[in-house]
Amino acid sequence: MKQIYIIILLLLCSSPCHTQDVKWELKWNLGSYFKGIDNYDSLNIMAIFNKNAALRRIIQSTDGGETWDYVYQDDDSQFIWPRGRDIAYPAKDFCIVSCDSSEFLKTTDGGQNWEIIKTEYGINDNDGFREIDMYDKNYGMMTTIFHMIVTSDGFKTWDTIPPTGTAGDYYIVRAEMLGPQTIAMINRDIVENNLHDWQFYRSEDAGKTWNEYPFPNLGTPSNLQFVDSLVGYNIGSVSTGIGDTKSDIVFKTTDGGQFWFNVMDTLIEGASNFGLNDFDFYDRDNGIVVGTYGKIYWTHDGGETWEYNKSEVINSENPTGMRVCMLSKYSAIIVTSNYVFKGQSGTSFVKTYDSQIQSVPAYPNPVSPALGAVTVQLPEGPVVSEAIIFDMSGRSAELKGWQMLGDGKILFALPKDISPGFYSIMITTQKKTFSVKLQVMGE
């Protein structure tokens, strides 16, 4: 019963409301198996897809997704093994596509001509390249499962970055280029009994050295994106521990990845292929998250609130997976297995939340376990009805025996067996829900 109440609480706190003011239109229907999309600005967009499960195709729009043209096609009469995996489009004339081989594709004239570049990595490195990200047309990185290559000249040359773990027991899941020398990376180590241990790493010297920080359990992170050097987002889906139900999760950092906190948690049911696929943020506040079978969520306040956008046009195609890029604060392009859609909303969204989550401070923060309690500052003096503390993996415990100190201050006793780490406290009152981000120090 307690677990069910926690799920209901999370849904009331962070479930998105429905919105109907986004219009989606079909713009392309000749694709097959879209793998990635990226845009340089609101007009120039490129997308990569594979036809007949092998042949590479790249399409481009120069009018904001209204019309599309092929800019790269393999010869249909040949079976060409390498397929496109990811795409980076950091400048109007410059675009790179990673392939599941030792190759990648590059254009320096806006897609008129493409160069196939071979590297020392190949099929033996578990099917070649995966992630690619460019800070601009010069600085970028590309990953296989076990390796990363970093460039400062637009991949004319590159340096190989050794793995931070032991190859075979570890692999790179997601990576992002935050600046000319700054890289963020999510790794997964295989530990005892084939269990997985997730780590977040950040480098300020192009991968020569790394700092490791705690990272939340997101099942398998679907994507990683930093809006700037400090603000970043990650998405995934995790089990609730009740039957086959899972939660769609969005985590956010505002300090470059040292601490991640939950900004969306919605209940989903059924098959393991349900979940979130991709997301994109136009700036710190405006973003879109997409998932299997037509799930679309918008935020215009940095994840404080979300609007669920159900599109009959997209849903009628029953898409099992989607990729997305934002063109402006209120428009986006979505590619599904076979189609390209463009969505345009009004100039603003109407908030329909009855109880919006509000972040409030606690002190001391960080806190020592020996102290055993923290004081939370609420804006008023409401009556607390429930307080639940969550760790980074989603485990929870109810906080009891709080003490009202006056002027909105409330003293909460921490669990006696609390371990060092990062926590989130959800405080429910009669009118509102509050969130506290707390760090517990080691002895």
The fraction of the chain above a pLDDT of 70, given in percent, is: 76
Q: What is the dihedral of CA 205, 207, 208, 213, to 10 degrees?
A: 90
* Topology agreement, domain 14-345 and domain 357-440: no
Q: What letter does residue 242 receive in the DSSP assignment?
A: S
pLDDT for res 381: 63
Over residues 140-166, the mean pLDDT reads: 86
User: pLDDT tens digit string along 171-180?
Assistant: 788 899 999 9
Contacts 24+ apart (CB under 8 A), 314-317: 314/24, 314/339, 314/341
- Is the pLDDT confidence value at 288 over 80? yes
Return the bridge partners of 140, or none. Answer: 134, 151
Residue 392 has pLDDT above 70, yes or no: no
**Cα–Cα distance for residue pair 227/349, rounded to 1 Å:** 22
Q: How far is CA 417 from CA 304, 333, 412, 420, in A?
A: 31, 48, 15, 10
Judge contact between 33 and 322, C-beta under 8 A: no
Task: Using the predicted structure, report yes or no on whether residue 221 has a pLDDT greater than 80.
Answer: no
The pLDDT score that the predictor gives to residue 125 is 53
| Mean pLDDT score, 239-261 | 80
Listed by start position, the domains of the chain span: 14-345, 357-440
Name the residue with higher pLDDT: 395 or 252: 252
pLDDT at 163: 65
What integer is the mean pLDDT of 423-441? 81
Q: Note the pLDDT of residue 306.
A: 87
Comparing 173 with 93, which gets the higher pLDDT?
Answer: 93
Give me the sign of the Cα torsion angle 292, 83, 46, 301: positive
Q: Which of 169-178, 349-358, 400-409 has the lowest mean pLDDT?
A: 349-358
Q: Rounded to whole angstroms, how far apart are CA atoms 326 and 342?
A: 10
Q: Is the pLDDT of residue 123 over 60?
A: no
Res 416 pLDDT > 60:
yes
Separation CA 351–CA 289 (nearest Å):
18
Backbone angles phi, psi at 104, to 5 degrees: -145, 160
Instruction: Report the CATH superfamily, name and number, of domain 357-440.
Output: Immunoglobulins (2.60.40.10)
**Whether 362 contacts 427, CB under 8 Å:** no
Residue 147 vs residue 246, higher pLDDT: 147
Q: Which pLDDT band holds residue 63 (cuts at 50, 70, 90)? A: very high
Greatest mean pLDDT among 164-168, 278-282, 386-390: 278-282
Strand-strand pairing, 196-203 and 183-190: antiparallel
pTM: 0.72
pLDDT at position 156: 95
The class (CATH top level) of 14-345 is: mainly beta
For the ranges 13-22, 47-56, 242-251, which has the lowest average pLDDT? 13-22
Give the DSSP H or E segment for 315. Answer: helix 312-315
Buried b (16+ CB within 10 A) or exposed e, 219-231: bebbbbbbbeeeb
SS3 22: strand
* C-beta neighbour count of 316 within 10 angstroms: 10
Per-residue confidence band for 305, with pLDDT thresholds at 50, 70 and 90: confident
pLDDT recorded at residue 51: 66
* DSSP 8-state assignment for residue 218: -
Whether 154 and 94 have beta carbons less than 8 Å apart is answered as yes
pLDDT at 393 over 60: no
**pLDDT number for residue 79:** 44
CA–CA distance, 396 with 389 (Å, rounded to integer): 5
What is the DSSP-derived secondary structure letter of residue 5?
H
